[in-house]
Amino acid sequence: MNALPPPDAARPTAEAGPADPLAALAALRTPQGTALLDELRDHDPARELATATRLRRSHPAHLVSAALGQARLRQRAVAKFGAADAYRMFFTPDGVEQATRTPVATHRAERFARLGGVRSVADLCCGIGGDAIALARAGISVLAVDRDPLTAQVARANAEALGLQDRIEVRCADVTEIDTTPYDAVFVDPARRGGRGRIFDPEAYSPPLSWATEAALKAPRAALKIAPGVPHEAVGPQAEAEWISDGGDVKEAVLWFGEDVEPGTFRATLLPSGATLSAAGPLPAPPVGPVGRYLYEPDGAVIRAHLVAAVVEECGGRLVDETIAYVTADEPYVSPYATGYEITDQLPFNMKKLKALLRERRVGVLTVKKRGSAVEPEELRRKMKLQGPNAATVFLTRVAGAPTMLVGQPMKRP
C-alpha cells in the first residue's frame, strides 16, 4: 500500500523530519495536527506553496507537509464519503482510490443486516475501513483486517474519528490466517491493483478469487467484492452475482454466498433508487429488428449482469443489433433500468450528412453516445463546429451490422 503523501518534494528542508508514514499519521492525530487539518479544510491546491511557506513559520515542516498531503486526499475523498465524514477521516492515496463509495457500502451493509442472524462480520482486506464503517452503522460488529500496518492504523483512526471504535476491531494480519468461525458472515475485498495497474485475472487478485471463494463457502453467509468486468464463467454455481451502479456508473460486482441468497442468480442493483432486476441463469437471446420511434439505453449494471433481454421483454421491443446493447421500441416505456430517447433521424455513418442535419436543426449542444463505434465523442463534436440554441443526442452504433447514426432527444418522463 502507498504511504501517506511524502513530505513536500518540491521544497526539501533539513527540518522536514523523518518520512515515516505511521509517525506522520500519529502527528496528524495530535491536537496540533487536528487544528492544522481543520485550518486546511478549504485549502486551495493552486496556492499550496504559499500556504506551506506561511504555515512553516509556526509549525514543524514535516507536520505541514503531512497535513497538506492529507488535506488533498480529504478533498478527493468527499466524492466518495461526503464532506461530513471525509473531513474527519484519514486516507492514503491507494485508500482513496480503492475505497468503496458510501452509498454502495451502505447498500451492501444493509443487505447483510437483512440476512437473518448476521450480528458480526469479518471484513477481510478492509483497506482504510469504508465498508467496516458502513457495517458498523448498520448495527453489525466488525473485525476489520488488513496486512499493511499503515492501512490498518488508518482504518483504526477512522473508526475512532467517527465514534465507531466500540463496533470495529482493527487487526493488522494476513487475512489467510484469520479464523472466521466466530463470525456470522465474511466479507472479502481482494486487492485488484498491482504495480502495473488494474488486475483483470481473478486468480491474480490478492488474495486470489479461489481462496476468497473457499473462505466464503466456509462461512454461514459471505460476500466477495470483485471487478464489474469479471467474466460470468468465473462466477461459481454456489454464488449469486450482483452488479451495482451508483448514479448510472457501474461501481462493482459482489458475489453472495450462503443462506438467504439465490445461487445461480444474476442481479443488477441501481443506486440511489435501490431498484433491482434479476434472473436465474442466462436469459434467451432477445429479438433484433429495425429502429423504432424510441431508443433505450440500459443501465451499465443491467448490461454487465446480462439482463438486457429483460428490458427488451418489459418494453416489448427489440435490439437494434444482436451485438449492441441498445433497445428500440415503437411505444414509450418508462423504467428505472434504462434511459429513453425519442429518435428523430436515422442516418448511415456520414460526418458530412450529420453536420448538415445539425446545422439545419441549429444544434449548439450535442451529447454523443456510442456502442460499437471507434469514433471519439470529442473528435466528432469538434468536427461538427456546432452553433445554435438547440440540443440533441447522437448515437454512434451499428444497426443490423451497418455503422449508423441515430439522432434524437431524451424522453420526457411523465
Domain locations along the chain: 21-91, 99-279, 294-410
Cell numbers 514535516 label which residue?
A: 62
More confident residue, 90 or 98: 90
Structure-block grid coordinates of residue 202: 481473478
Contact 30, 71 (CB under 8 A): no
Q: What is the CA radius of gyration of the chain?
A: 25
99-279 CATH:
3.40.50.150
Q: Report whether pLDDT(396) > 70.
A: yes
Q: How many angstroms separate the CA atoms of 386 and 6, rounded?
A: 46
Task: Please give the biggest Cα pair distance in the chain.
Answer: 72
Other residues' Cβ atoms within 10 Å of the Cβ of residue 389: 8
- Put simply, whether the predicted model's pTM sits higher than 0.85 gets the answer yes
Q: What is the pLDDT of residues 103-114, one digit of tens each?
A: 999 999 999 999
Q: By mean pLDDT, which of 168-172, 189-193, 373-377 is the weakest?
A: 189-193
Digit-coded pLDDT (tens) for 48-85: 999 999 999 999 999 999 999 999 999 999 999 999 99
- State mean pLDDT over 378-394: 93
The overall average pLDDT reported for the chain is 91
Q: Which residues contact 6 (CB under 8 A, 6 or more apart)?
A: 19, 65, 69
pLDDT at residue 10 above 80?
no
Question: Left if phi > 0, otherwise alpha if psi is -120 to 50, otherwise beta: which for 32?
Answer: alpha
